[in-house]
Amino acid sequence: MNIEKHLAFFLIIAIAALIVLYPQPLLHPAKSKIAVIIIDGFRPDYLNYTANLASFAESNEYFVINTVEPSITPTVHASMVSCQLPANHGIVDYSTQFSGTPFLFKWGKENNLLVCSAYAKEYLNFFDNSYKFYYAPLVSDKFLIEKTKEYVEECDIIIASLPETDSIGHLYGPSSENTKELLKELDNNFADLIDYLRSKKVKIIVVSDHGMCDVNGKGIHNISEECALKIPLIIDKNLTIPNELDKNNLKLTNIVPIICNYYGFDCTSECDV
């Protein structure tokens, strides 16, 4: 009996020590991974040309939200990973960088969550704070989708930015036949990615960074017009939006709190919600 008591005592001490030394795995049970897919320059009306994306939106939670201003790629991406508005994070051009580590990467590291990113624009080098990051200029959506698949095996949170919709929109305008053709290709690539992520039980968030407006046959988005500011947000139906967030007024800065909530944390007080 004494031996059994001693064994039970040492077992309790060992469990307590593990909780103190490794709190994340024990206090927060293992979760599926999350992928945030950012489709650069994707407008809500583009869903009319992307049947697979439209179907994904219908089967999950779909919102049309406003992006931040200025609606340029570095500002928007900075708002997403810092969960702060531009007035607070200060990234309002193509050259300014964070003085510290954006919140998502800092929070992930503190909680043993591996945040990885794949993107194609050199001025987004604040993503270098990711556990793993990939950058190469002038790469295709398909290439970055394959890189995203690679990250699924190792990373907990994957951020992938697909650039081609933005590139084609700038060159030919958002209503052009070139853009419509590109959207068909994007839709097929997206279906392939979604099938893969679902096979790995990954939870998915799809968002754009900004819209695109027709101006003299070209596309621009750094203007205060609905065509530039309205963007789609699709949240996996298996993710829970924190009660502190207004589902009728979601923001880009809400993406991180939704991720935190899934892993058992409340970070709304750290974010501009």
| Coil, helix or strand at residue 66 | strand
Examine residue 13 and state whether it is found in any structural domain, yes or no: no
Would 87 be classed as within a structural domain? yes
pLDDT band for 137, please (50, 70, 90 cuts): confident
Q: Is residue 75 part of a domain?
A: yes
Average pLDDT over residues 28-39: 83
Domain span at residue 208? Answer: 33-270
Q: Give the separation between CA 259 and CA 160, rounded to whole angstroms.
A: 15
Q: For the segment 116-135, what is each residue's pLDDT rounded down to a tens digit? A: 999 988 889 999 999 999 98
Residue 234 in domain:
yes
- Give CA angle at 32 (144, 260), nearest 5°: 90
* Residue 182 belongs to a domain: yes
Per-residue pLDDT, averaged over 165-177, amounts to: 96
Reading the block at residue 154, the tokens are 């190792």
Of all residues in the chain, the percent with pLDDT exceeding 90 is 84
In a domain, 25, yes or no: no
Q: Is residue 255 part of a domain?
A: yes
Distance of CA 152 to the CA centre of its chain: 14
* Residue from 198, 200, 72, 187 nearest 141 by CA: 187
- Taking CA atoms, 244 is separated from 82, 118, 258, in Å, by 18, 30, 10
Given a cut of 70, whether residue 59 has pLDDT beyond it is: yes
Per-residue pLDDT at 8: 52
Please report, in angstroms and rounded to a whole number, the separation of the first and last CA atoms in the chain. 57
Q: What phi and psi, each to the nearest 5 degrees, are found at residue 53?
A: -65, -40
pLDDT digits (tens, 9 = 90+) for 185-220: 999 999 999 999 999 999 999 999 999 999 999 999
Please, where are the H alpha helices in the chain?
2-21, 23-27, 51-58, 73-82, 86-89, 103-110, 141-152, 164-172, 177-199, 226-229, 255-262
- Mean pLDDT of all residues belonging to the chain: 90
- Torsion from C-alpha of 130, 133, 139, 145, nearest 10 degrees: -80
Report the CATH number that the domain containing residue 235 is assigned in CATH.
3.40.720.10
pLDDT score at 4: 56
State both tokens at 261: 């909530």
CA distance 82 to 72: 16
More reliable by pLDDT, 89 or 4: 89
Please report whether residue 26 resides in a domain. no
- pLDDT for position 136: 81
* Total domains, the chain: 1
**CA torsion angle 94 100 104 107 (round to 10):** 180
The residue count of the chain comes to 273
Nearest CA to 267 out of 141, 64, 82 is that of: 82
pLDDT at 1 > cutoff 60: no
Q: pLDDT tens-digit profile of 68-79? A: 999 999 999 999
Is the pTM value of this prediction over 0.85?
yes
